[in-house]
Amino acid sequence: MTPVKQLTPDDLASLKNAKTLLENPGLAAKATNLLGAPIEKGFEALPANWREKVTLATESALTKALAVAVRTMTDGKVEPPNDRWHMLAVGVSGALGGAAGLAALPIELPLSTTIILRSIADIARSEGANVRDVATGLACMEVFAMGGRTPGDDATNSAYFATRMMLARSVTEAAEFIAEKGLTEAGAPAIARLIATIASRFGITVSEKAAAQAVPIIGAAGGALINTLFMDHFQNMAHGHFTVLRLERQYGAETVRLAYERV
């Protein structure tokens, strides 16, 4: 019996939907469709030091998000996530960022990233994950690395599993460190490596967000719209990621990976 046949039809359909979410175009393509103009125009409008600002804002946002991720969250019954409420909240932060431009990024990004993380955790819980578990918190953090390819990626392979493989060692080291010492030493090498690894991917999406908000037609309303798209992107990644993890708990990681490749 092949690995695909071991999954029930419903679970196979769930896996197919997860793959559709995880392997679809990232934020840049969606923003281009939304704006009706190539996002490259936004990159041209950014100031000379925008890369430095994005890098610093990204690492700061992820450091704060990690603290939230490993903090005890309210556990509860498995029920559909409240995606719409989180979308509204991040839209408000985007309106503020859109009105102030790139200068607001160091303030707006940690806020929107934390709201997105709470939404990711809500989705994780809806898929049966224990949100009080440090491993679940780190799995939530992994979502920020998904949905953006780097130039060195192999386009023939699954971006999703390639990202998880890239993160595996850093996540394991961070989990061991947190279990032993908590987050009292935020500058510890294990934590710094995890943040840097995720930031290398998350920064791509943040750069695309900043470029989209720099398009001349964007203002407060446009900033809210782009942030809504930003949230939608990571909610999709979270729905796909935690569907795969739920199926892995049920069928085993290798069976699900092989089925993922075939659907």
Question: Confidence band (pLDDT; 50, 70, 90) for 156?
Answer: very low
Taking the C-alpha atoms of residue 5 and residue 141, their distance in angstroms, rounded to an integer, is 32
Per domain, the residue ranges of the chain are 3-262
Tell me the per-residue pLDDT of 238-263, one tens digit each, with 9 for 90 and over. 999 999 999 999 999 999 999 999 98
Is pLDDT at 152 greater than 50 in this prediction?
Answer: yes
89 vs 254: which has the higher pLDDT? 254
Amino acid at 188: A
- The pTM assigned to this predicted structure is 0.84
pLDDT level of residue 216 (50, 70, 90 thresholds): low
pLDDT reading at 18 higher than 80: yes
Determine the Cα–Cα distance for residues 25 and 233; give it in Å rounded to an integer: 10
- Tokens 């470029």 sit on residue: 211
The DSSP 8-state label assigned to residue 75 in this structure reads P
> Who wins on pLDDT, 64 or 186?
64
| 207 has a pLDDT exceeding 80 | yes
Lowest mean pLDDT of 66-75, 177-186, 237-246, name the range.
66-75
CA neighbor of 191 nearest in space, from 213, 175, 202 = 175
User: Range with the lowest mean pLDDT among 86-95, 161-170, 201-210?
Assistant: 86-95
**Distance separating alpha carbons of residues 74 and 204, to the nearest angstrom:** 31
